[in-house]
Structure 1
Amino acid sequence: MTTRRRLRPLTRLTVALGAASAIAALAGCSLLGGGELGSGPSAERDESGQVVEGTDGADVFTLQVGDCLNDADAADTVSEVPVVPCADPHDSEIYASVILGGDTFPGTDAVLAEGDEQCGTEFDAFIGIPYVESIYDFSYYFPTESSWERGDREILCVIFDPAGQKLTGSLDGIAR
């Protein structure tokens, strides 16, 4: 499906200035195997869609805004990530979904630029203060050329504590 990009804490101001692509660390996940997108394992959800029972290996194509992940140690290429209820300690929270348009893969640099811009904009609205003022950082999962060919157009923005502290509950509107 996607590639994940973790930003180093020292690049926060640079990201706000639009130069993150050149200096940010990349980590990723891409579609592995030949199954249909989203046909793998997923976390157990209640009627509202909230995770009520996590899983050590949720298909990356089953992730949703509001999901909380234990993905700090995710490999460069993954097809599954650990998902937990947000009340449990977790590494990150999916706070936004951005759907890219087009039939042709625009290239990794274009996808990264869109992820930087859209996740930065959504970050401010989600957290309640500008990104450069927040103690939190963001990263995202995004389509690779391989997953794009199979219909993946989604960037999933995730928020995390760059100090590596576990989060508990949602950070929606925390203004920190």
Structure 2
Amino acid sequence: MPPPPGPQGPYPQGPYAPPWGQPYGAVPPRPTPVNGVAIAAFVLGVLCFVPAVGLVLGLVALGQIKRRGERGKGFAVAGSVLSSVGLALWVVTLSTGAAADFWDGVKDAARGEGTAYALEKGQCFTTPSGSLQGVTYDVDEVPCEEEHDGEVFAAVQLPGGAFPGDEEVARVADERCYALQDSYAMDRWALPVGVDVYYLTPTSQSWRAGDREITCLFGNTDERGTLTGSLRNDDRRLDPDQHAYLVAEGYLNRAMDEVPAAESVEEDFAGHRVWAGQVSEALRGEIGLLGRHDWPADAERPVADLVADLKAAQEQWGLAAKATDLDSFYAHYGQGYDLVEADTTVAAREALGLATTRPVYEEGGDGGGESPGKEV
């Protein structure tokens, strides 16, 4: 009898993790002090009676924050911008090239250029610490062909209003980023071992400066490891047959991701029966898409063999959903799981030129898991 399914954990790669896998642990970020010079710059910017001093202090604070990894960038930027407005009222002309460069620097800081706010989908970057956990204030964009710490695959805009709190922002980020990963990297089998989903989220300070964006990204669960090469694998990089297959396979992937959080079937028998029904329906959707597509001649037989196994698997998962006792559930679940893991999947993938190495799942690794996020 196969081991019982367990809690839903993160899925760093592959179509789905074994239901009995353990979630990754994560160390929550430690509080970081707010830069005092940044606060002074903000106060002087609001008062606006010595704008030159507020502007200078704001720029000094930005430099200190970058070197020390302190918080308060929002205060420093706001103080600089407010002081610059006051100074503009005092000064009629600024004629030198140095002055023009000075103002360009202020405007770049206000726009967030060179910071996490400026990251876009498809970009790769490094962080000063090399870690994707904790707090960061700036990042350096690098070509994806070079070693990097993270690759952005999606962005989520949060609604306006008051800052919802770190826990709520992290909850939304975890939910949305994991849901969006397949739209960028459709083939989970092609993700390298150790790759997981992370995110950059606003802090209460950056929220006041207008930051409302959650940045979803892929990173290495080994803090000493890096990534090389883009992980993008979508309709822009797949041929029509590969894309059709992965869209169909996505039905099963998403259903497997919904495994109940209980550590054993006994703890939530009803929940596991519902989940088995979801898997059965997902298999129905996958079978339908695979059956309707016109496959290349050399892929027709492998895909047909896969569909046969998936039909048998759908029946077993459906019986597991109707099971009235644990022994019956385990019997049908075991057969159904073996059928979706059959070698026919590898053969169909090989015929279509997709990755054929089954994903390796790690247990108890660092990164990912309950809090795979970094505040910016």
Q: TM-score, normalised by structure 2?
A: 0.34
Deviations 1:61-118 (A, max 9, x none): 2222221112323683332112211121212101110000131111111101100011
Which of 9, 12, 15 aligns to 1:14? It is 9
Which amino acid counterpart does residue 198 of structure 2 have in structure 1? S
Is the Cα–Cα contact under 8 Å of residues 196 and 218 in structure 2 kept in the other structure? Answer: yes
Which of 167, 181, 187 aligns to 1:109? It is 167
Partner of 1:173: 233
Is the Cα–Cα contact under 8 Å of residues 142 and 154 in structure 1 kept in the other structure? Answer: yes
The structure with the greater share of residues assigned to helix is: 2
- 1:34 to 2:94 alignment: no
Is the Cα–Cα contact under 8 Å of residues 173 and 214 in structure 2 kept in the other structure? Answer: yes
| Residues 166, 24 of structure 1: alpha-carbon distance in 2 compared, 3 angstrom cutoff | closer
Partner of 1:4: none
Partner of 2:204: 145
1:50-61 equivalent positions in 2, closer than 5 A: 58-61=114-117
Among all aligned residue pairs of Structure 1 and Structure 2, give the percentage whose two residues are the same amino acid: 28
Which amino acid counterpart does residue 143 of structure 2 have in structure 1? P
Alpha-carbon distance in 2 for matches of 1:120, 1:134? 17
| Residues 31, 156 of structure 1: alpha-carbon distance in 2 compared, 3 angstrom cutoff | farther
| Residues 130, 31 of structure 1: alpha-carbon distance in 2 compared, 3 angstrom cutoff | farther
Is the Cα–Cα contact under 8 Å of residues 31 and 78 in structure 1 kept in the other structure? Answer: no
Which of 68, 73, 89 aligns to 2:147? It is 89
Which of 86, 91, 99 aligns to 2:157? It is 99
| Residues 134, 104 of structure 1: alpha-carbon distance in 2 compared, 3 angstrom cutoff | farther
Partner of 1:160: 219
| Residues 110, 130 of structure 1: alpha-carbon distance in 2 compared, 3 angstrom cutoff | farther
Unaligned runs of 5+ in 1: 1-11, 43-57
Which of 113, 117, 121 aligns to 2:179? It is 121
Which consecutive segments of 4 or more residues in structure 1 shift more than 6 A? none
When Rg is computed on C-alpha atoms for both structures, the one with the higher figure is 2
Is the Cα–Cα contact under 8 Å of residues 95 and 157 in structure 1 kept in the other structure? Answer: yes
The structure with the greater share of residues assigned to strand is: 1
Aligned residue pairs, count: 147
Unaligned runs of 5+ in 2: 1-6, 12-18, 31-68, 82-106, 235-354, 360-376
Q: CA RMSD in A?
A: 3.6
Alpha-carbon distance in 2 for matches of 1:31, 1:123? 31
Is the Cα–Cα contact under 8 Å of residues 31 and 79 in structure 1 kept in the other structure? Answer: no
Alpha-carbon distance in 2 for matches of 1:138, 1:126? 12
Q: TM-score, normalised by structure 1?
A: 0.66
| Residues 69, 173 of structure 1: alpha-carbon distance in 2 compared, 3 angstrom cutoff | same
Alpha-carbon distance in 2 for matches of 1:152, 1:130? 31
